[in-house]
Amino acid sequence: MIASHRIPAQASTPSSIPKRLLVSLATYNEVDNLVPLAEAIREYAPQATLLIIDDNSPDGTGRIADELRASQPERIHVIHRPKKLGLGTATLAAMQFAIENGYDYLLNLDADFSHPPRFIPSLLAGMSENDVMIGSRYVAGGGVEGEFGLKRKLMSAGINWYARLLLGLQSKDNSGAFRCYRVSTLAQLDLSRVRSRGYSFMEEILFWCRQAGGRIGETPILFENRRSGVSKINKLEVVAALRIILQLGFDRCLGRVGTRNSASLLSGSQS
C-alpha cells in the first residue's frame, strides 16, 4: 500500500533559499546498507528530505526505514509497497511524490553504496545548466572502483550502446540510476506512458525527458560494488529491458512517440 505524506508546496522560492531537494532510495533487501547510507547522504546533502521506497523486503529493510523515519519524521518519508514491484515503478513513485509535494529537484541513488554520496554536490552543481544530471561512469574522470567482472562490463557497455542506437540518446551512461532530475521537467511528462517496470526505466525516462526538450548533462562518478547484500538483476529483467527499449526504438522510428516538446507528451491535467 502506498502511504504518501503530503507536504504543502512553497508559493515561491527566492534564489537565496536553497532549492527543495528530495533524495530517493528504492530498497529491496538493503538492511545493512540503509542506515549508514542515510547518514552519508545527510553529510553531503544536509538540506535534503529522504524518501525510501521499500517493497516489503523480506530482510526487514522496511522496518529499519520506519525506525529512521521515527527518529527524523520531518526529514524522512517512507513508501511501503506490498511486494517487489520493480526498480522502475519504485523510481516512478518517487517522481510522483516529488511532483505532488512541490520539490525542485529529485536525486536518486541505489541503496547499496554503488553510488557514493560524495558525488551528490557535483550532480547538484550541474543542475544550473541541465534538467537531468547523470552520475556517469563513462565520461572522462568516471569509472568503476574495484572488481567489476568482464560479464558486467560487457552487459553495461552493450545496453548503453543499444539504448543510444535505438533511442537516439546522446548521453554516455544511460543505465545508471544515480541522477538528479528537475521536478518541473518530470511534471511535463505523461508518466502514465512509461512502459518499463524494471531496469529499462533508466533508459526510457531519459528518452522521454529528451523528447520533452530536457537538457541532459553528465558528471563523472566512480561506481563501487555493492557493500552488502546481493544484486536483484536476473535474466528475465534483462530480457524485459531489451524488449522494451526495442519497442520504444521501433515506435520512435515509426514516428509514434511525438517529437520534442510535443503536446502529446504533456499530461492531460496541464494546460
Ligand X SMILES: Nc1nc2c(ncn2[C@@H]2O[C@H](COP(=O)(O)OP(=O)(O)OP(=O)(O)O)[C@@H](O)[C@H]2O)c(=O)[nH]1
Number of Cβ within 10 Å of residue 56's Cβ equals 14
Write down the least CB distance from residue 56 to ligand X, Å. 9
By CB under 5 A, is residue 42 in contact with Mg ion?
Answer: no
Nearest residue relative to ligand X (C-beta) = 231
Closer by beta carbon to Mg ion, 114 or else 219: 114
Task: Please name the amino acid found at residue 244.
Answer: I
Q: DSSP for 189-241, please give it.
A: S-GGG---SSTTHHHHHHHHHHHTT--EEEEE-EEE--SSS-----HHHHHHH
Q: Contacting Mg ion (CB under 5 A), which of 112, 173, 204, 218? A: 112
Question: Distance from first CA to last CA of the chain, Å, rounded?
Answer: 31
Interaction partner, residue 7 (ligand X, Mg ion, none; CB < 5-8 Å by kind): none
The footprint of ligand X on this chain (CB under 6 A) covers a number of residues equal to: 20
3-state secondary structure of 185: helix
**DSSP classification of residue 110:** E
Positions in 33-72 near ligand X (CB under 6 A): 53-55
Q: Contacting ligand X (CB under 6 A), which of 49, 101, 108, 114? A: 114
Write down the least CB distance from residue 50 to Mg ion, Å. 18
Q: Contacting ligand X (CB under 6 A), which of 144, 187, 233, 238? A: 233
Q: At what angle do helices 235-253 and 150-167 cross, to 10 degrees?
A: 20
By CB under 5 A, is residue 110 in contact with Mg ion?
Answer: yes
By CB under 6 A, is residue 79 in contact with ligand X?
Answer: no
Query: What backbone torsions phi and psi does residue 144 show, to the nearest 5 degrees?
Result: -125, 130
Query: What is the number of alpha carbons within 13 Å of residue 236 lying toward its C-beta?
Result: 4
* Separation of alpha carbons 191 and 189, rounded Å: 6
Ramachandran region, residue 76 (left: φ > 0; alpha: ψ -120 to 50; beta: rest): beta
Q: Contacting ligand X (CB under 6 A), which of 5, 42, 215, 226? A: 226
Closer by beta carbon to ligand X, 30 or else 131: 30
Q: Contacting ligand X (CB under 6 A), which of 64, 85, 123, 133? A: 85
3-state secondary structure of 78: strand
- Applying CB under 6 A, the span of 11-19, 119-127, 227-235, 262-270 interacting with ligand X comes to 227-235
Q: Contacting Mg ion (CB under 5 A), which of 144, 226, 238, 266? A: 226
Write down the least CB distance from residue 137 to ligand X, Å. 11
What does the binding site for ligand X look like in residue numbers (CB under 6 A)? 26-28, 30, 53-55, 84-87, 90, 110-112, 114, 226, 231-233
